[in-house]
Amino acid sequence: MSGTSLDGIDAALVRFGAKGLGCLATHYRPYPDDLRQEALDLHRSGPDELRRAALLANRLAGEYAAAVTTLLAEAAVAADAVKAVACHGQTIRHAPADGYTLQLNNPALLAELTGITVIADFRSRDVAAGGQGAPLVPAFHDDVFRHRSRHRVVLNLGGIANVTDLAPGQPTRGFDCGPGNMLLDAWSRRHLGQPYDAGGAWAAGGKVLPDLLGRLLAHPFLASPPPKSCGREQFDLAWLEGCLAGHEAPADVQATLVLLTARSVAQAVGRWCGRPEELFACGGGAHNKFLLATLAAELPQLRMAKTEDLGMPADWVEAAAFAWLGRRTLLGLPGNLPAVTGARGARILGAIYRA
Ligand SMILES: Nc1ncnc2c1ncn2[C@@H]1O[C@H](COP(=O)(O)OP(=O)(O)O)[C@@H](O)[C@H]1O
Ligand SMILES: [Mg+2]
């Protein structure tokens, strides 16, 4: 898995057995800075972009292959013991309203480099069926995190934040709720020269700017009802800059961005998830202590924890989810939830590149 944060690749080795799934090993491979920058640049039109996108796709396949090879070496597992690699690719455009979503990858090359069957391009079939193509993780959350009598919400804090609503006796629902870490990271890179604000320590020293918060929370995506999904198209640094008066102290902006994420999640949960009893956070943002504390203050009626408490480390939930989705594809089973994405029906997701 490589998500909108553009931080790198989360690789998980997952076994599916009679007793459910087990995560055997994990490996994280950060993106080189220049790769990250090129992926970021390709979010907008630019000179020679088709060629640059093709070359970046090849380079990504090389990075994915290296992540797989290292993961298997560390786990002492041979490539021929692996059924398939499920690879999300790197989103550079997400425009379901225009009928497309684009994850850069070269799955054919990845199959050549690893000698393992590759499953890729998970989102486009759902979009073709009229859906958002996102979020796709709720079906997995439903399978592994649902409780028979407790109303649970799972919150994935990636670059974008998305929620899965697991209400007992109800179909699983879910949606992107808005920015997760994306703006926090961008602001931290600019002012701290750090890829992220570790633990939210910098934000914790700032004070919230109510006017700025009001302008940020007025983004129409936040109030629009599900099904919905978003990306850098909606919440990028240019949008943030347009909301600034220009004289704000950088730490105060960071504090305000933390509250933007927390409040937009809290409002979305309040509007569209009924009255859940507990929330389990996952994704890299679950390491941001200040963000979680701010969120807890916004949702005082909820018990908050991380997916660790449900047996799955926060960093590996999304990677394991794509292994789960890839398995569905191999078995010829649908992977999307039409109630989540808005697609016309359940669909088998992705394309298979045989070893
Ligand atoms: N110690 C930490 N403190 C604060 N934020 C963190 C920490 N570790 C990771 N993160 C955040 O998590 C992000 C990566 O999360 P991830 O789940 O991989 O998101 P995505 O799926 O969008 O790639 C980083 O970019 C950063 O914002
Ligand atoms: Mg990531």
In the chain the domains, ranked by start, together with CATH numbers, are 8-133+316-353 (3.30.420.40), 138-314 (3.30.420.40)
Distance CA 289, CA 261 (A): 13
The alpha carbon of 328 and the centre of ligand 2 are apart by a number of angstroms equal to 22
Q: Which ligand is closest in space to the CA of residue 314?
A: 1
Mutate to test the pocket of ligand 1, among 2, 5, 26, 155 (most ligand atoms within 8 A of CB): 5
- Angle at the Cα of 24 from the Cα atoms of 21 and 27, rounded to 5 degrees: 125
From the number of C-beta atoms within 10 Å of its C-beta (0-12, 13-18, 19+), residue 217 rates as: middle
Respond yes or no on whether the N-terminal peptide bond of residue 225 is cis (omega within 30° of 0): no
CB atoms within 10 A of CB 22: 12
Nearest atom within ligand 1 for CA of residue 315 = 17
Give dist(CA 141, CA 155) in Å, integer.
Answer: 10
Q: Give me the tens of pLDDT residue by residue for the chain, a chain 355 residues long.
A: 999 999 999 999 999 998 889 999 999 999 999 999 999 999 999 999 999 999 999 999 999 999 999 999 999 999 999 999 999 999 999 999 999 999 999 999 999 999 999 999 999 999 999 999 999 999 999 999 999 999 999 999 999 999 999 999 999 999 999 999 999 999 999 999 999 999 999 999 999 999 999 999 999 999 999 999 999 999 999 999 999 999 999 999 999 999 999 999 999 999 999 999 999 999 999 999 999 999 999 999 999 999 999 999 999 999 999 999 999 999 999 999 999 999 999 999 999 999 9
> Structure pTM?
0.98
| Distance (Å) from CA 284 to ligand 1 centroid | 3
Ligand nearest to the CA of 282: 1
User: What interhelical angle do 250-272 and 182-192 show, nearest 10?
Assistant: 180
Q: 210 alpha carbon to ligand 2 midpoint, in Å?
A: 30
